[in-house]
């Protein structure tokens, strides 16, 4: 997974550059007022609650973008769980650089760790079932590469990254085309044979229609537990089923028990609670 993220080096550098430019602007008037720019020292990064680490490289690269001379030691790797009070990393170098990059670095890191921590809870809740937790496109614009990476670090799986790498026929597509059959047929004629078509359905009649139209996957949108069980029986393994809509930690196990293959939750990325992580200066050289 780390290799996948670092392969996005150009994208990552652009994101970091934009974040630092947004925050620093024409200059950090507080830090440049307090310090001369020659001070050096150490800082520790501490978990203030139990957290699944995700984005340690993004965190490090944010400091390096501003000052390549900063020393960075990671005590935890992506996917590891750290306890409250545990040190995640240590920095050493120019204090002005560390303080100027601190907020942007933590914004990336806390969000990614929050997503990974929440996803790990979902994944562990359904580990006795075959269903897999998958992400959605409900991400912060521009941060999808980081958001979806964090889901995978937490134990989730890829859905589609964007509109370009998977066909998902939703209710508005069906309405615009006139029927599920027409929508599927139109897409099938225009996409490569290697691309799968998923159809979003809202009731059992539409499940039958999607099967008849040749859907490769079917998304059960906002169905009750009873309807999901009936859909699983009706489909009988002919195509994978995805449960979506109003999934949370309180009901995800019950959803998995219906026998669906995938469970998607937009809340993993659109309603994430940032992990509680702090950076504290330990001493000056």
Residue 74 burial by Cβ neighbours in a 10 Å radius (0-12, 13-18, 19+): middle
Question: Any alpha helices (H) in the chain, and if so which ranges?
Answer: 2-6, 9-24, 29-34, 56-66, 95-125, 144-153, 171-177, 180-190, 204-213, 225-235, 252-256, 267-270
Q: Is the dihedral of CA 37, 73, 115, 240 positive or negative?
A: positive
Residue pair 150/55 in contact by the 8 Å Cβ criterion: yes
Task: Give the list of residues 6+ apart from residue 196 with CB closer than 8 angstroms, or none.
Answer: 166, 167, 216, 217
Q: Which residues of 83-103 are buried (b: 16+ CB within 10 A; e: fewer)?
A: eeebebbebbbbbbbbbbbbb
Six-digit token pair at 215?
A: 């859907």
Active site members? 103, 138, 170, 200, 221
DSSP string, 221-246: ES--HHHHHHHHHHHTTSS-EEEESS
């Amino acid at each position: 997974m780390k290799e996948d993220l670092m392969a996005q080096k150009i994208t990552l550098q652009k994101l970091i550059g934009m974040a630092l430019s947004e925050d620093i602007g024409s200059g950090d008037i507080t830090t440049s007022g307090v310090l001369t720019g020659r001070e050096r020292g150490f800082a520790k990064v501490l978990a203030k609650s139990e957290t699944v680490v995700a984005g340690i490289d993004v965190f490090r690269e944010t400091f390096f973008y501003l000052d390549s001379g900063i020393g960075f030691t990671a005590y935890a790797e992506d996917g590891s769980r750290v306890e409250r009070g545990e040190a995640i990393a240590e920095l050493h170098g120019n204090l002005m650089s560390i303080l100027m990059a601190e907020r942007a670095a933590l914004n990336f890191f806390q969000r990614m760790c929050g997503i990974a921590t929440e996803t790990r809870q979902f994944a562990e809740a359904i580990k006795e079932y075959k269903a897999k937790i998958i992400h959605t496109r409900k991400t912060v614009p521009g941060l999808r590469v980081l958001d979806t990476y964090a889901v995978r670090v937490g134990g989730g799986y890829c859905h589609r990254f964007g509109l370009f790498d998977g066909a998902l026929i939703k209710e508005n597509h069906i309405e615009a085309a006139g029927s599920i059959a027409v929508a599927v047929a139109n897409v099938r004629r225009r996409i490569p044979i290697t691309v799968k078509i998923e159809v979003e359905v809202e009731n059992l009649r539409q499940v039958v229609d999607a099967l008849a139209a040749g859907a490769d996957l079917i998304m059960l949108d906002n169905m009750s537990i009873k309807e999901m069980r009936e859909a699983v029986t009706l489909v009988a393994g002919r195509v994978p089923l995805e449960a979506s809509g109003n999934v949370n930690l309180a009901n995800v196990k019950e959803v998995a028990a219906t026998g669906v293959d995938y469970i998607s939750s937009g809340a993993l990325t659109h309603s994430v609670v940032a992990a509680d992580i702090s950076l504290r200066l330990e001493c000056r050289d």
